[in-house]
Structure 1
Amino acid sequence: MTALITDSDEHRLIRESTAKIAARYGHAYYSERARTGAGLEELWGELGEAGLLGVHLPEEYGGGGAGLSELVVVLEELSAHGMPILSSVISPAICGSILAAHASPEMKRAWLPDIASGRRRMAFAVTEPDAGSNSHAITTTARSDGGGWRISGAKYFISALNEADAVLVVTRDGDLAPSASGRSPLSLFVVPINTPGLQYQPIETELVCPDKQFTLFFDDVRLDGDALIGERGKGLRQVFAGLNPERITASALSNGIGRYAVAKARDYARERTVWSTPIGAHQGIAHPLAEAHIGVELARLATARSAELFDAGQDAATAANIAKFTAAEASLKALDQAIQTHGGNGLSREYGLADLWFVARLLRTAPVSREMVLNFVAQHSLGLPNSY
């Protein structure tokens, strides 16, 4: 298909390397592992060994030394092969970016090489049952305890804890006074998954996705002093080092789903004949698919631009939010039209379309809902009063 995005030579090589690995697995592998809960260890290991998971992380800590633009290529291409992997947004993009920006050299050496290689993974815990993703309403609390820390509280809808070696947790710092606005300072910690007092339980969802969801409990969890990321009480600024990468890479997943859906529908519309005519010859099929393709390509451009701004060290918040919104909407529209193009076959497991609706729909809500994106754009782009 003709695309608006033209890869640089470097991006073309990254895309080809990713596609070569992805083609050995494909959507059937992803779907089977999602339904059985077996995990994607083989695929994850190959991606790490090829240097694709850590392509954006610093070379001195085992990464590829490139930027988020390169990670976007990797994640989009995996998704375009029917494998939108949520863990790829969480461990290398969110956690890796936060550690690379704010962790001590010792913590970077301890974690970044293994995150880049895929040998270890990290989950990210910010959302809470009564706070959602509103970091100002977090109640999970960390307090200093001699030379260490104690954490108590709970987190909700935390992805892939069962595959993680540690969790990067956002807490309210219970020892520091609130700011003049009444907001409590935040502190971030890396908590190994086997730490005493840390427990989690699965959340039953309808998602057909290898990355399961969990509630996470901190029952007076004791940590050593070196578990703290950067400076205590500065967690809000630290979290933002991961939020733009989160939105941008989530956009990449949505764009890949959109590409996958349009490509499947195009091929089916070429091959499926009714009364000796390919159904793609009918404008009732062709026009909606063309419109879906346009939407996906525009979302890809928005995502590429947001990653470009982030890599240049510029303010990428508005671009990242716009990309996330656009990509999620376009992928759902493309996927729905692909299913419609297939008729009844669109709901057949054999054709590998309908099960992706759950992840595509999740990406409309997470990692930030469309409503919160609209709030942000209304306030920061249009200058309207804050609505919350």
Structure 2
Amino acid sequence: MMTATDSAASADSTRAQDNPYVETPERAALRASVAAMSARYGQEYFLACAREGRKTDELWSEAGKLGFIGVNLPEEYGGGGAGMYELSIVMEELAASGSGLLMLVVSPAICGNIIARFGTDVQRQTWLPGLASGEITMAFGITEPDAGSNSHNITTTARRDGDDWILNGRKIYISGVDQADAVLIVGRFEDARTGKLRPALFIVPTDAPNFEYTPIEMELINPEKQFLVYLDDVRLPSEALVGDADSAFGQLFAGLNPERIMAAASAVGMGRFALDKAVSYAKERTVWKGPIGMHQAIAHPLAQAKVELEMAKLMMQKAATLYDSGDDWGAAEPANMAKYAAAEACVKAVDQAVHTMGGAGLTSEYGVAPLLSLARIARVAPVSREMILNFVAQTSLGLPKSY
């Protein structure tokens, strides 16, 4: 017989399922579990890995074993069978602990989603179980030195040679190549019907002959590095092509929308981390008659940071919900808006944390100073705020294209 307590719990669960603004018990439990795990590592672990030249292997491995890394991937391939909403929870809580993992954006979110939706049966069976468990990582290569944000100017080319593909080109700012088993490369091939170059996606193992990469020196304290990638007559079997070559732009949406959602989740989490540090300091730091947090000059900017982070989070959740419903185009606007809003909110939260803490905000003790550079990644990557504003102006407002 169902008790009153059972009935109330069931009603609460139903209300949560029907209300997009209330996380379901399952999502709340996931959030709590990720927060508990990441608290055992935190920023001290993250920074130590970066400064000592180590990878976050222990954190990545545990997150994989607990099912967090592949929570968005299909159950039949070892994933959690959930969606981008759940993976964004994982990213947000990791970042809120001071240990946001960039490869979580790339491996399960971009590459995993694309392969799950458009890969062949062999590709799914080969890559998805490892991507879900974290035992395999995959990088993503779209950005080029001379193309920037203009994907139409990508010069990495693929040509047929019998049943094989031959790839040539350069990629820049490719994250985590040194820890990846393969890179999902965006190239272009000549359409035999029109003679025009069309985009295509290829899985390129990092140990493939003539595939090379070199690190880019960055002024960032981060264990996940950036690389230049060189493809010089890299020969791939025909099965390296992902999905339908005639539909590659649509397939890219399946990866780029999650990329923006995860970038927003990372920025929201990082902003939360900085805000928590500043609030704790403002409660404890006493000057003259009481804690500095009692003064509106301190309290109001922190409150504003909280408001803006929460607004960005709502847009991120909207984007994830639309994406998980299968509405790729409908998710594009909120995904871009979420990334923009979260980046701005994160940068302001970090700056305000430093201002609140004064000199203490620049010490190693409080861990806020490293965020001054890390937070700005969200403004420029994976797409700049200016390109997002271009997208909104042209797509949402119907204004003439400016470029």
TM-score, normalised on structure 1? 0.96
Cross-structure match for 1:246: 259
Tell me which of 288, 292, 296 is aligned to 1:283: 296
Match of 1:336 in 2: 351
Is 1:348 the counterpart of 2:363? The answer is: yes
Shift of 1:187: 1.2
- The correspondence of residues 262-341 of structure 1 with structure 2, limited to 5 A, is 262-314=275-327, 315-341=330-356
Provide the rounded CA distance (Å) in 2 between the counterparts of 1:372 and 1:232.
26
Aligned CA distance change for structure 1 residues 136 and 195 (closer, same or farther; 3 Å):
same
Please say if 1:377 is aligned against 2:392: yes
| Deviation string, structure 1 residues 196-224 (Cα, Å, up to 9, x no partner) | 00000011111111111100000100111
Q: Distance in 2 between matches of 1:59 and 1:164?
A: 23
Q: Which residue of 1 aligns with 2:141?
A: 125
CA separation of 1:349 and 1:14: change in aligned 2, threshold 3 A? same
Name the structure 2 match of 1:200.
Answer: 213
Q: Is the 8 A contact 1:61 1:108 kept in 2?
A: yes
Q: Within 5 A, what are the aligned runs for 1:76-225?
A: 76-174=92-190, 176=192, 184-225=197-238
Q: Which residue of 1 aligns with 2:8?
A: none
Distance (whole Å) between structure 2 residues aligned to residue 250 and residue 176 of structure 1: 37
Please name the residue that 1:53 is paired with.
Answer: 69
**Structure-1 separation of matches of 2:273 and 2:136:** 29
Report the TM-score, using the length of structure 2 for normalisation.
0.93
1:231 aligns with 244
Match of 1:33 among 38, 43, 49: 49
Partner SS, residue 184 of structure 2: strand
Conserved 8 A contact 1:176-1:185: no
Q: How far 1:97 moved relative to its partner?
A: 0.7
Stretches of structure 1 lacking an aligned partner (at least 5 in a row):
none
Which one of 48, 65, 74 corresponds to residue 90 of structure 2? 74
TM-fit CA distance, 1:242: 0.2
- 1:261 is aligned, of 262, 274, 286, to 274
Shift of 1:346: 0.4
Amino acid at match of 2:38: A
**Distance in 1, Cα, partners of 2:197 & 2:190:** 8
2:39 to 16, 20, 23: 23
Whole-Å Cα distance in 2 between the matches of residues 144 and 283 of structure 1?
Answer: 66
Q: What is the identity, as a one-letter code, of the residue corresponding to 1:329?
A: E
What is the rounded CA distance, in whole Å, between the counterparts of 2:91 and 2:347 in structure 1? 18
Q: For 2:90 and 2:367, how far apart are their aligned partners in 1? A: 21
Residue type at the aligned position of 1:324: K
Q: Which structure is richer in relative contact order (CA contacts within 8 A, separation 6 or more)?
A: 1
1:177 Cα deviation (Å)?
5.5
For residues 228 and 53 of structure 2, the distance between their equivalents in structure 1, rounded to whole angstroms, comes to 17
How far does the alpha carbon of each residue in 1:65-112 deviate from its partner, in whole angstroms, 9 at most, with x for none?
011101111100000001121111000100111111110011001001
Alignment RMSD, CA only?
1.4
- For the 8 Å contact 2:71–2:87, the answer to whether it is kept is yes
Cα separation, 2, equivalents of 1:67 and 1:52: 11
CA contact (8 A) 2:191 2:197 kept: no
Q: Secondary structure at the match of 1:158?
A: strand
- 3-state DSSP of counterpart to 2:251: helix
How much has 1:136 moved relative to structure 2?
A: 0.7
Aligned-partner Cα distance in 1 for 2:281–2:100: 22
Q: Tell me by how many angstroms 1:234 deviates.
A: 2.8
Find the aligned partners of 1:199 and 1:159 in 2 and give their Cα distance. 14
- Aligned partners of 2:281 and 2:342: how far apart in 1? 23
Mapped to 2, the partners of 1:359 and 1:382 lie a distance apart of 31
Distance across 1 between alignment mates of 2:149 and 2:274: 30
- Corresponding position: 1:14 with 2:30: yes
Shift of 1:6: 4.0
Shift of the alpha carbon at 1:125?
A: 0.2
Shift of 1:377: 0.3
Tell me what 2:7 maps to: none
1:9-30, Cα deviation, whole Å (9 max, x unpaired) = 1111101110111011000111
